[in-house]
Amino acid sequence: MMTKQQIKTRMRNILSLAPQLNDILVSSAAIEKKKDDIHIWLSDMLAETYKENSNIQPLKYILARNAINIFRNILSDRSEKMAAYSFTGYLVTLLTVSNDDKFESPTAGFFAELEHLIRGITGATGIYDAKLPAFSKHEGRRAARMRSADLSRMGRTSQKFMDDYTSGLENDAIRRRSRNKARITNFFGATDREWEKWNWHLKNTIRDADTLKKLIKLTDEEYKAVQRARELKIPFGITPYYLSLMDLDSGGHRDKAVRAQVIPSLHYVNTLAEQNLNRENCMDFMLENDTSPIEGVTRRYPNIVILKPVLTCPQICVYCQRNWEIEEVDSQSAALPGPKLEAALDWIKNTPEINEVLVTGGDPLLLSNRRLESIVAEIAANPNIVRIRIGTRTPVTLPQRITESLVRGLSRFHVPGKREVVIITHFEHPYEITLNSMEAVQKFRRHGMEVYNQLVFTYYNSRKFEACFLRQQLRLIGVTPYYTFNTKGKAETNDFRVPIARLMQEQKEEARLMPGTVRTDEIVFNIPGLGKNYLKASQHHDIISITPDGRRVYEFHPWEKKLVLADTYIYKDVSIYGYLKRLKSDGQDVSAYRSIWYYY
């Protein structure tokens, strides 16, 4: 913990970048007058950049303008009211604090945010080179060749990052998985033929720490977390197939994302244990209860509904937003009872505005072919329905489920010109891609059905160019990137969370360098109870504060904006500083992420 003197010294150092701001904050004026003076200072800073003969580069001007607007927004009474805290008042406290004052101590993350905000406003970000690239002084072929050399350098840099990640389609990975499969089948005394049967995998799903430990090496924390999860009856399971995607040794980087997908952290199980007392209220983060007009149905949009005929999956993703209602892995009681399912299907039939149904859950591919086809048939019987989406992660966790008969059955409802059936899957990492998952995808494609991917952007796939590499590999196996979701703000999944600024940076500095056919996804923040907010469009959200622990507070606008009145949504992000610190402790060169502070 810093002493009051250390805090003051740190503040003065940061404010030496903007002496006028410092003078305003330490003046004896009342807080409202200080805010007015800061507004005038910000306006002057902006006007300065318009002056004739201003040396400021256009891109530096744009950065400064953005940062100025953010500070203006944070200053407003309205923002302070929504954030229930005054950023300006806090700055004054930190500069003028005396020994007896009580206040929340600022974190390193707060100082980092403040410093970068001021650097943005004053044009001292340091993210650009001092001069324009050399080619800009030339014309024609000479300029083109110089620019081409610059672009090649950029291309080599991105490739270098991508070379750090392993695709499951690489020969070494294929050989490794083949050895893993032999080890697992040997353990279960199973044949190759049994391995190809999806029911065999469900029957032999690994559900406890001791069995898991016999099949792969676990860190002490992994072992303890699984054991505690089981004691607390937290859903846990790993299909033998998905286990074969994990490397035998623990602690490696290659399969970290695969393990983190299903092996919970101790933080996760301990937090869930605390929340269990008030399970639904604490955990229904997406407020699905408030958007469900009838059991089994969720509606957030005029024409689209979600139908959830089954509330379990072959294995449970640790960060699942539906973890409050997902039942035990492959639970027999997880299917929506027949009469309730019929009522939900009737409700869809009697709501003629609905023209698209997302059948999800849980994972509807846990249902038998007959049951799934009968549901799809009932939906398709409604003349308004033009699209049926089936949300399933089985191409990743259980590709054996994608049999010819399943695909043929579903394809009957895919009628070009009338109605499409599309598959929405959920690959999280290039190491999850295998020859089996590619074959599963290709089966759908051969029957004319498109396969899209929804990526949840977590700590484990957020390194530089990691998501790009995944998208590239997905396109190669026939999957189209569809959405990239920001991770949700639930306490138990804090380990997974990534600041929103990183998602924006990824889109702008990494995804943008890929061909248009690869970067087809939209980055979104899924607002609880409201629906998707498109993060790329900066006019759909605002930063309204920065808290003492260095977290940005956002106000998200609902999709209904300019159509009908609806509430906005206030969200406290995770700290950028904390995220970068973690990357650094995992061996990343964080200087490659330095512009992250200037994404708002």
Residue 264 or 362: the one with the smaller Cβ distance to ligand SF4 is 362
Q: Does 393 bind ligand SF4 (CB under 6 A)?
A: yes
Q: Print burial letters for 308-343: b (CB count within 10 Å at least 16), e (below 16).
A: bbbbbbbbbbbbbbbbbbbbbbbbeebbbeeeebee
Q: Name the minimum Å distance from CB 318 to ligand SF4.
A: 9
Cis peptide before 362 (omega within 30 of 0): yes
Q: Name the minimum Å distance from CB 393 to ligand SF4.
A: 4
45, 39 in Cβ contact below 8 A?
Answer: no
Q: Name the minimum Å distance from CB 454 to ligand SF4.
A: 9
Residue 79 or 437: the one with the smaller Cβ distance to ligand SF4 is 437
SS3 389: strand
Q: CA-CA distance, 5 to 10, in Å (whole number)?
A: 9
Residue 34 or 488: the one with the smaller Cβ distance to ligand SF4 is 488
Residue 362 or 481: the one with the smaller Cβ distance to ligand SF4 is 362
Q: Name the minimum Å distance from CB 459 to ligand SF4.
A: 16
Q: Which of 334, 344, 337 is CA-nearest to residue 297?
A: 344
Q: CA-CA distance, 18 to 34, in Å (whole number)?
A: 15
Site for ligand SF4 in 411-470 (CB under 6 A): 426
Q: Name the minimum Å distance from CB 49 to ligand SF4.
A: 46
Tokens 């995808």: give the residue: 441
Residue 361 or 528: the one with the smaller Cβ distance to ligand SF4 is 361
Q: Does 325 bind ligand SF4 (CB under 6 A)?
A: no
Q: Outline where DSSP puts E strands in 362-449.
A: 387-391, 420-425
Q: Name the minimum Å distance from CB 173 to ligand SF4.
A: 22
Q: Name the minimum Å distance from CB 425 to ligand SF4.
A: 9
Q: CA-CA distance, 227 to 233, in Å (whole number)?
A: 10
Residue 63 or 320: the one with the smaller Cβ distance to ligand SF4 is 320
Strands 356-361 and 387-391: parallel
295, 305 in Cβ contact below 8 A?
Answer: no
Q: Name the minimum Å distance from CB 232 to ligand SF4.
A: 17
> Tell me, what DSSP letter sits at residue 509?
I
Binding residue (CB under 6 A) for ligand SF4 from 181, 322, 401, 475 = 322
119, 17 in Cβ contact below 8 A?
Answer: yes
Q: Name the minimum Å distance from CB 478 to ligand SF4.
A: 20
SS3 208: coil
Site for ligand SF4 in 281-320 (CB under 6 A): 313, 316-317, 320
Q: Name the minimum Å distance from CB 460 to ligand SF4.
A: 14
Residue 319 or 556: the one with the smaller Cβ distance to ligand SF4 is 319
Residue 328 or 378: the one with the smaller Cβ distance to ligand SF4 is 328
How many contiguous H segments (helices) and E segments (strands) does the chain have? 25, 12
Residue 14 or 234: the one with the smaller Cβ distance to ligand SF4 is 234
SS3 391: strand
- Beta strands across the sheet bearing 552-556: 541-546, 552-556, 569-572
Residue 11 or 422: the one with the smaller Cβ distance to ligand SF4 is 422
Q: CA-CA distance, 500 to 484, in Å (whole number)?
A: 12
Q: Name the minimum Å distance from CB 338 to ligand SF4.
A: 22
Q: CA-CA distance, 55 to 51, in Å (whole number)?
A: 9
Q: Name the minimum Å distance from CB 321 to ligand SF4.
A: 7
Q: Name the minimum Å distance from CB 151 to ligand SF4.
A: 38
Tokens of 236: 């846990």
Q: Which of 489, 282, 305 is CA-nearest to residue 388?
A: 305
Q: Name the minimum Å distance from CB 15 to ligand SF4.
A: 45
Residue 234 or 316: the one with the smaller Cβ distance to ligand SF4 is 316
Residue 247 or 363: the one with the smaller Cβ distance to ligand SF4 is 363
Spatial CB neighbours of 480, under 8 Å, sequence gap ≥ 6 = 450, 451, 452, 453, 474, 520
Q: Name the minimum Å distance from CB 320 to ligand SF4.
A: 3
387, 420 in Cβ contact below 8 A?
Answer: yes
Residue 45 or 326: the one with the smaller Cβ distance to ligand SF4 is 326
Q: CA-CA distance, 347 to 353, in Å (whole number)?
A: 11
Number of other CB atoms surrounding residue 18 within 10 Å: 19
Annotate each residue in 336-375 with x if it binds ligand SF4 (CB under 6 A) or - if it does not, as one string: -------------------------xxx------------
Residues facing 526 on adjacent strands: 532
Spatial CB neighbours of 313, under 8 Å, sequence gap ≥ 6 = 320, 326, 329, 330, 361, 362, 363, 366, 393, 397
Residue 313 or 449: the one with the smaller Cβ distance to ligand SF4 is 313
Residue 111 or 241: the one with the smaller Cβ distance to ligand SF4 is 241
What phi and psi, each to the nearest 5 degrees, are found at residue 454? -110, 115
Q: Which of 286, 273, 360, 357 is CA-nearest to residue 322?
A: 286
Residues within the interface to ligand SF4 (CB under 6 A): 313, 316-317, 320, 322, 326, 361-363, 393, 426
